[in-house]
């Protein structure tokens, strides 16, 4: 299997209301990259959030008592902390200048995904309300514009317990099964696998980031050559049920 990643260049700064699918198709055509059935389009969360208007102007945020106290402890902007708390269903842990929360989506991440990077000064971006639905909308529009059956992944950068550094993972997807199960299959030595289940959407998101980078202004990429199972199940299915989670 040969996997290729093509960054989609020339997409302008995303503003609220922009049609991401149209911009992706236009960029692919300018690059002479003809979309194919089975391609995976990876779109960065920040682009999706901007297009969907998930931007907040900090000067319009009034922090509450809890946010102000926590901001003082962490030496953070209390308005930013207020947004972090609003976007969470619970605070998991606080320390080292970071607030680990559980979001409404079920993601456990730093600062509820609230981010000031790659956003115009004075504003912050929030996670999309429903990243799976966002991916589905982009996929449907690409199908209409390019007449191709593709999968779509919405990616974001997450840290990981026990390891330094961050990597891109999928927070939304459409058109492909997020997991590939090897349960019941045998390895080359005859050992029958029981629980091996790679998160294919996360692997694709991480591969795309190698081509798009963090500072290049490239909000999307096409990943080609990945064998995946077509499905309508999104990333929400990856969230570990609380009763099975050993770390919460």
pLDDT digits (tens, 9 = 90+) for 18-63: 999 999 999 999 989 999 999 999 999 999 999 999 999 999 999 9
Question: Of 196 and 134, which is predicted with more confidence?
Answer: 134
Same domain for 110 and 86?
yes
CATH number at residue 31: 3.30.1330.100
Range of the domain at 228: 4-53+128-238
Q: Which residue has the tokens 């000067």?
A: 59
Same domain for 12 and 87?
no
Tell whether the torsion through CA atoms of 107, 108, 109 and 114 is positive or negative.
positive
Which two structure tokens, joined as six digits, stand for 110? 């730093």
The pLDDT score that the predictor gives to residue 226 is: 95
Q: What is the mean predicted confidence (pLDDT) over 195-217?
A: 89
Where does a domain end: 124, 151, 177? 124
Same domain for 201 and 100?
no
**C-alpha 174: how far from chain center:** 12
Q: What is the mean predicted confidence (pLDDT) over 87-93?
A: 95
Same domain for 48 and 72?
no
Same domain for 146 and 203?
yes
Q: How many domains does the chain have?
A: 2
The pLDDT score that the predictor gives to residue 22 is: 97
Q: What is the mean predicted confidence (pLDDT) over 202-229?
A: 94
The pLDDT score that the predictor gives to residue 197 is: 75
Burial class of residue 89, CB neighbours in 10 A (0-12, 13-18, 19+): exposed
Question: Global pTM?
Answer: 0.92
User: Is the model's pLDDT at 194 over the cut of 90?
Assistant: no
DSSP strands (E only) in the chain: 4-7, 40-44, 55-57, 88-95, 98-103, 108-110, 123-125, 151-160, 163-174, 220-224
Which of 44-48, 172-176, 233-237 bottoms out in mean pLDDT, i.e. has the lowest? 233-237
User: Is the model's pLDDT at 172 over the cut of 90?
Assistant: yes
Question: Does the residue 86 lie in any domain?
Answer: yes
The pLDDT score that the predictor gives to residue 196 is: 61
CB 88 within 8 A of CB 103: yes
Same domain for 65 and 49?
no
- Terminal-to-terminal C-alpha distance of the chain: 38
Q: Which residue has the tokens 């960054």?
A: 7
């Amino acid at each position: 299997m040969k996997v290729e990643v093509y960054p989609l260049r020339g997409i302008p700064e995303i503003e609220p209301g922009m049609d991401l699918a149209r911009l992706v198709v236009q960029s692919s055509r300018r690059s002479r990259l003809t979309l194919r059935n089975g391609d995976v389009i990876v779109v960065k969360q920040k682009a999706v959030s901007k297009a969907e208007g998930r931007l907040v102007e900090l000067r319009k945020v009034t922090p509450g008592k809890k946010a102000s106290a926590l901001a003082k402890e962490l030496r953070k902007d209390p308005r930013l902390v207020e947004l972090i708390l609003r976007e969470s269903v619970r605070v998991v842990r606080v320390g080292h200048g970071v607030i680990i929360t559980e979001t409404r989506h079920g993601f456990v991440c730093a600062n509820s995904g609230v981010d000031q990077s790659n956003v115009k000064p004075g504003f912050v971006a929030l996670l999309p309300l429903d990243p799976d639905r966002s991916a589905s909308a982009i996929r449907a529009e690409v199908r209409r514009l390019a007449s191709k059956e593709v999968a779509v992944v919405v990616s974001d950068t997450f840290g990981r317990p026990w390891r330094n550094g961050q990597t891109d993972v999928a927070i939304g997807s459409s058109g492909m099964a997020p997991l590939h199960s090897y349960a019941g299959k045998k390895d080359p030595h005859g050992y029958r696998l029981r629980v091996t289940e790679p998160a294919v959407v996360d692997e694709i998101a991480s591969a795309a980031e190698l081509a798009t980078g963090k500072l290049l202004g490239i909000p999307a990429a096409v990943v080609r050559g990945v064998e995946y199972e077509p499905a309508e199940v999104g990333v929400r299915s990856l969230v570990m049920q609380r009763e099975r989670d050993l770390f919460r």
